[in-house]
Amino acid sequence: MDKNFKDAINRRKFLKISALWTGGACIITIPGFTATPYRTLGRSEAEIMDALADAIIPPGEYAGGKDAWVTRFIDQQISSNGYLQHDHDLYKTCLPAMNNDSRGEFGTIFTELDENYQTEYLQAIEAGHYNSGAATRGWGNFTPSAFFNTMRNHCMMGYYGSPIHGGNRDYVSFRMISLF
């Protein structure tokens, strides 16, 4: 327990510091080398996650999932010292699989679909229509609908939870519901 307390505190301090450092900038460019501020997700994985976050919580009067740093929340939590580290492989496998699996039905990858088609595609995944034979389409041992449910829940945590965990940038969700 004590160890956990310390971890939680250290983590919080670290997040505060890292928030200061990264500020609003999302990409640091060094000539010949492009890095992302993420610990676990690569550039293309982060882009897919951003698109998903915006599909789950779309932008409007208040920021969508992407601008609220939901991807940053998930990246931090599935990293080796995050609370959701057990879901690391789930994301690493399912993000690219999910992005590619729209080709058959929609003719292109998820991130390039229009919003309406993205919604239609995700509704089909949620309903389990892509579960059959998923392993042969890159989903490994994971079930598409189960991934969707977990990812949806994590988006809610990242958007509506405390910013100390990496999401809910500038308390956007609290402002949206006029909590303050």
Partner 1 sequence: MANKHVNAIVVGSGAGGGVVAKELSYAGLSVVLFERGGWAKYDDHGDDELTAQRSFPLACFFGPDNERYRRVAVDRQGNKRIVYPNDWAYHNIAACVGSGTVSYGAMAWRFMEEDFTMKSTYGDVEGSTLEDWPITYADLEPYYEKAEWEIGVAGDDYQNPFAPWRNKPHPMPPFPHNREGKLLEEAAKKVGYHPFSIPMLRNSKEFDGRSACIHVLNCVGFACPVDAKNGTQNTVIPKAIETGNCELRIHSQVVKVLTDKSGRATGVEYFDKNDNKHVQTADIVILAASATETPRLLLNSATNLFPNGIGNRHDWVGRNLQGHAYCGADGLFEDETFDGTGPGASVAVCDFAHNNPGIKGGAMLANDFIKLPYAYTGTRPPGAARWGREHKDFQKNYFKRNASIRGPVQEMPNFESRVEVDPDVVDHWGMPVAKISGFKLDEDIRTAEFIADKAEKWLEAAGAYNIWKSIPGTGVSGGQHQAGTCRMGNDPQTSVTDKYGRIHDVDNLFIADGSLHVTNGSFNPVLTIMALGYWVSDYIVKEWKGGNRFR
**By C-alpha distance, which of 69, 73, 80, 86 is closest to 7?**
80
Q: Is 116 in the site for partner 1 (CB under 8 A)?
A: no
- DSSP calls for the chain: -HHHHHHHHHHHHHHHHHHHHHTT---EEETTEEE-S-SS--HHHHHHHHHHHHHHS--SSS--TTTTTHHHHHHHHHSTTSTTGGGHHHHHHHHHHHHHTTHHHHSS-GGGS-HHHHHHHHHHHHTTTT-TTGGGGTTTT--HHHHHHHHHHHHHHHHHS-GGGS-SGGGHHHHHTT--
Q: Which of 46, 48, 49, 55 lies at the binding interface for partner 1 (CB under 8 A)?
A: 55
Q: Is 156 in the site for partner 1 (CB under 8 A)?
A: yes
Q: Which of 15, 19, 146, 176 lies at the binding interface for partner 1 (CB under 8 A)?
A: 176
Q: Which of 19, 109, 146, 164 lies at the binding interface for partner 1 (CB under 8 A)?
A: 164
99 vs 173 by CB, closer to partner 1: 173
Q: Is 179 in the site for partner 1 (CB under 8 A)?
A: yes
In three-state form (DSSP H/G/I as H, E/B as E, the rest C), the secondary structure along 53-68 is HHHHCCCCCCCCCCCC
In whole angstroms, how close is the CB of 161 to partner 1 at the nearest point? 4
Q: Which segment (36-44, 88-96, 103-111, 156-164) binds partner 1 by CB under 8 A?
A: 156-164
Q: Which segment (25-33, 41-49, 133-141, 160-168) binds partner 1 by CB under 8 A?
A: 160-168
In whole angstroms, how close is the CB of 176 to partner 1 at the nearest point? 5
How many chain residues interact with partner 1 (CB under 8 A)?
Answer: 34
- Judged by the rule CB under 8 A, the positions of this chain that interact with partner 1 are 1-5, 8-9, 55-58, 60, 62, 77, 83-84, 119, 122, 152-153, 155-157, 160-162, 164-165, 173-174, 176-179
